[in-house]
Chains A and B, each alone.
Chain A
């Protein structure tokens, strides 16, 4: 007999982890929408964010000031991405490379391996926990860790803020225009390479913020970004490449499907349920739930 309490608890747990997943995927989808490339090293920017958060909390601020550490961690990752983009990504457009997708794949996978190895060399392979003093909170029938709830709430707030900035500011307008047509936006006098640089910085900063917020939940170690990469790509395929509302809806769907599947089917296949969802969505809508079909010449 399945209890309604267990159903409600599993559903709530799925929603919370779904928001967290969406935050992980947001950066990937944003970078793709502007720069038209898939950043396979996104998980490593998540990892850097988590390490900066750990360092700030453990060495300088303490766990009570996590809300100051998290934006600082995200900003550090923004700066790193902002200065890295001209070195690694810009040549994709300026060096006359024909197979841009292949270039981006090779470069970002090389970056992934380098950053992961660097983290192992600098801090060792050990797990670390920045700690959290946030108390456990009752969400109806579900006890939820304060740190995880804070990550979900902050994730929702950041997504909302990000959406408003994209819709109401000049920079947002330019980015939406760049997302529609990289050539068209240049005719309007927008410096597309500067736009790429900012978009790349913002995208990786979103991953860094996810890493910082989730550091006390999923712990800090050199390969903790793997989950971001796998879940993030599942989400953007389900939600549609380049769609921000798609990332949120797909994140929620993935979290709920995994949670209910693990609770009421077989928990050993928790990760497989997301891929079943992905296959079903692709069968019905090959471009994802909110993706648009693109006609290429």
Chain B
């Protein structure tokens, strides 16, 4: 066994001197044992060769790819938050001496602009030019879905950081993994909320993306399957629309008790303002479909109309963190002088999972990393271990954090003080 703090232990492919000395140095072992050891080492070297150059050269860093939206029409704020987390994960592992017996990690960041074609180009670049061993950071479902189609052929695994469309995992691609809340869980959470509030008429205004359309379809489906009996008004709009007034006028005529805002980035912000102008909110409650209101910019954008909103969140400061998560929260606060939000936590967690997968796999070969991801238990920011079982349907290769629905009761309220209205435990697998 390699005596160094080497992740590879018995099968250390780097043949550290101490291990070699023990193998060959003892007179008691005799010539036969020595020959056996040489043969064993030879087999190991041959096996590693067959794995297709599974290990990076000694000092070569291992690259992890990050595909995030850094410019509109994507959600650049989300991209920046995910990037912060991912960079701290790289710092964490490099300060510890790297992974896979001392290989440093390198992050290669690509801007998808929230466009599927941008995501595909970025994935190709990361795999063919940067030789990334895994790609994560995905925020827009459509980008993740498009990249997965290419990944299926190129073989380097992807981990969806904040993408929830069902098809990302329900297609059961070997390369596709996710650590985010999926459509059925998110919809179950807001149906719980609707039932709790006694709402009967609900409008859903969704952007025409995989995310928006997927959530509308899932809500209609669960409303029927669970016999919730809601009168739904589902509508979709083009993501590039700047004027949602015509749609909101229809919402106003429908007189719902709840309007679910399923826009991402700018459309979500426009809907908040334009619904308030038309007098829909605050009389009608509005639920934002993701955790954008926890971001520091939220109250700058909505100083008057942010109060009273409900929103989905995936992390509460009351939640117990893993040791790794605790390290991250402190490092993040030290560096950015604010508390981390979910996007950063999960960006950190996903890079940490890929780093651990390299250690588990004892290889940087994508197939070995996929096998490690499927079979291993990983530590992320949450207290519970992360696993990616080959489960049924959308739960394939998926781990979900819990879903919370928070409520801003006052203007300029700190998100950490927002009222928790619903806590819904996301399931990893069924």
Binding site for B on A (CB under 8 A): 3, 5-6, 9-10, 13-14, 17, 120, 124-129, 131, 136, 143-145, 148, 217-219, 221-224, 226-227, 258-263, 267-271
State whether A129 touches B301 (Cβ < 8 A).
Answer: yes
A-B contact pairs, 9 of them (CB 8 A): A17-B243, A125-B76, A128-B300, A148-B277, A219-B301, A227-B240, A267-B237, A267-B246, A267-B247
A267–B236 touching, CB < 8 Å: yes
Contact call B301/A271, Cβ cutoff below 8 A? no
Closest 9 CB pairs of A and B: A125-B76, A262-B246, A145-B277, A263-B246, A268-B236, A13-B245, A223-B72, A267-B247, A129-B301
Choose from A9, A219, A227, A269 the contact partner of B249 (Cβ within 8 Å): A9
Which secondary structure dominates chain A's binding surface?
helix
The answer to whether A226 touches B240 (Cβ under 8 A) is yes
A145 smallest CB distance to B (angstroms):
4
B266 touches A13 (CB 8 A): no
For residue A221, which residue of chain B has the nearest CB?
B72
Residue contact B76 to A126, C-beta cutoff 8 Å:
yes
Residue of B nearest to A6 (CB): B253
Contacts A125-B71, A143-B277, A143-B278; is A219 near B238 (CB within 8 Å)? no
B78: min CB distance to chain A, Å: 10
Indicate whether B241 reaches chain A with its CB closer than 8 angstroms: yes
Is there contact, CB below 8 Å, between B249 and A10? Answer: yes
Write out, one digit per residue, whether chain B residues 273-303 have a CB within 8 A of any chain A CB (1) or not (0). 1100111000000000000000001001111
Residue numbers in A under 8 Å from B240 (CB-CB) = 226-227, 271
B80 at the interface (CB under 8 A from A): yes
Kindly list chain B residues whose C-beta atoms are within 8 Å of the C-beta of A222: 71-72
- Asked if B270 is at the interface of the complex by the 8 Å CB criterion, the answer is yes
Query: Hey, what's the 0/1 contact readout for B29-71 against A, CB within 8 Å counting as 1?
Result: 0000000000000000000000000000000000000000011
- B73 contacts the other chain (CB 8 A): yes
Given contacts A17-B243, A145-B273, contact A271 B238 (CB under 8 A): yes
Give the chain B neighbours of A259 by CB distance below 8 A. Answer: 243, 245-246
Query: Quick check: A268 and B238 within 8 Å, CB to CB?
Result: yes
Say yes or no: is B87 at the interface (Cβ < 8 Å to chain A).
no
A6/B76 in contact, CB under 8 A: no
Interface centre among B242, B277, B302 (most CB of A within 10 A): B242
Determine the chain B residues whose CB is within 8 A of the CB of A145 once the complex forms. 273-274, 277
Instruction: Verify if B269 is at the interface (C-beta below 8 Å from A).
Output: yes
A269 touches B238 (CB 8 A): yes
**Which residue of B70, B242, B247, B278 contacts A227 across the interface (Cβ within 8 Å)?**
B242
- What is the bound-complex CA distance between A144 and B277, given in angstroms? 6
Q: Is B14 an interface residue (CB 8 A)?
A: no
**Are A262 and B301 within 8 A (Cβ)?**
no
- Chain A residues with Cβ below 8 Å from B70 are 125
Min CB–CB distance A168 → chain B (angstroms):
35
B contact residues around A144 at 8 Å (CB): 277
CB-nearest residue of chain A to B77:
A126
Say whether A218 contacts B242, CB under 8 Å: yes
Q: A124-B76, A219-B269, A270-B237 are in contact. List 18 more A-B contacts (CB 8 A).
A: A120-B71, A125-B70, A127-B77, A129-B303, A136-B277, A143-B277, A143-B279, A219-B266, A222-B71, A226-B240, A258-B246, A262-B246, A263-B247, A263-B250, A267-B235, A267-B237, A268-B208, A270-B238
Closest-CB distance, A113 to chain B (whole angstroms)? 12
Task: Give A270 to B297 CA distance when docked, in angstroms.
Answer: 29
Given A127-B269, A223-B71, do A271 and B241 touch, yes or no (CB 8 Å)?
yes
User: Chain B's nearest CB lies how many Å from the CB of A214?
Assistant: 9
Bound CA–CA A218/B267 (angstroms): 10
Choose one: B77, B253, B300, B303; the contact of A3 (CB below 8 Å): B253
B-side contacts of A269, CB under 8 Å: 238
| B277-A270 in contact (CB<8A) | no
A268 and B237 contacting across the interface, CB-CB below 8 Å: yes
Q: A267-B246, A271-B240 are in contact. Are A219 and B270 (CB under 8 A)?
A: yes
> For B236, B238, B249, which residue has the most chain A Cβ atoms within 10 angstroms?
B249
A50 to chain B, nearest CB (A): 12
- Cβ distance B293 to chain A, nearest Cβ, rounded Å: 13
> For the complex, what is the distance from the CA of A155 to the CA of B243, rounded to whole Å?
17
Q: In the assembly, what is the distance between CA of A219 and CA of B245, in Å?
A: 16
Chain B residues, CB < 8 A from A267:
235-237, 246-247, 250
Q: Which residues of B contact A10 (CB under 8 A)?
A: 246, 249
- Complex contact B300–A129 (CB within 8 A): yes
> How many angstroms between the C-alpha atoms of A48 and B146 in the bound complex?
34
B297/A127 in contact, CB under 8 A? yes
Q: CA–CA, A5 to B253, complex, Å?
A: 9
Q: Which residue of chain A has the shortest Cβ distance to B206 in the bound complex?
A: A268
Please report the C-alpha to C-alpha distance between residue A258 and residue B71 in the assembled complex, in whole angstroms. Answer: 27
| Bound form: Cα–Cα A13–B77 in Å | 30
Tell whether A125 pairs with B72 under 8 Å between CB atoms, given A143-B278, A271-B238. Answer: yes
A270 and B246 form a contact (CB under 8 A): yes
* Chain A residue contacts of B238, Cβ below 8 A: 268-271
Closest chain A residue to B235, Cβ basis: A267
**Which of A224, A258, A261, A270 has the most CB atoms of chain B within a 10 A radius of its CB?**
A270
> Using Cβ atoms and an 8 Å threshold, which residues of chain B touch A120?
71
- Flag if B301 contacts A270 (CB, 8 Å): no
Q: Chain B, 101-144, contact with A by CB distance < 8 Å: what is the 0/1 string?
A: 00000000000000000000000000000000000000000000
The CB with the most chain B CB atoms within 10 A, among A143, A148, A262, is that of: A262
Whole-angstrom CA separation of A275 from B269 in the bound complex: 26
Contacts of A224 in B (CB 8 A): 72
Please pick, from A217, A219, A226, A262, the residue contacting B247 in the complex, using a CB distance under 8 A.
A262
Kindly list chain B residues whose C-beta atoms are within 8 Å of the C-beta of A17.
243, 245
Q: Mark B230-260, 1 if CB is under 8 A from A, else 0.
A: 0000011110111101110110010000000
Measured CA separation A206–B80 after assembly (Å): 33
Residue of B208, B301, B303 near A127 (CB, 8 A) is B301
CB proximity of A133 to chain B, nearest CB, Å = 10
Tell me, rounded to whole Å, the shortest Cβ–Cβ distance linking B336 to chain A: 14
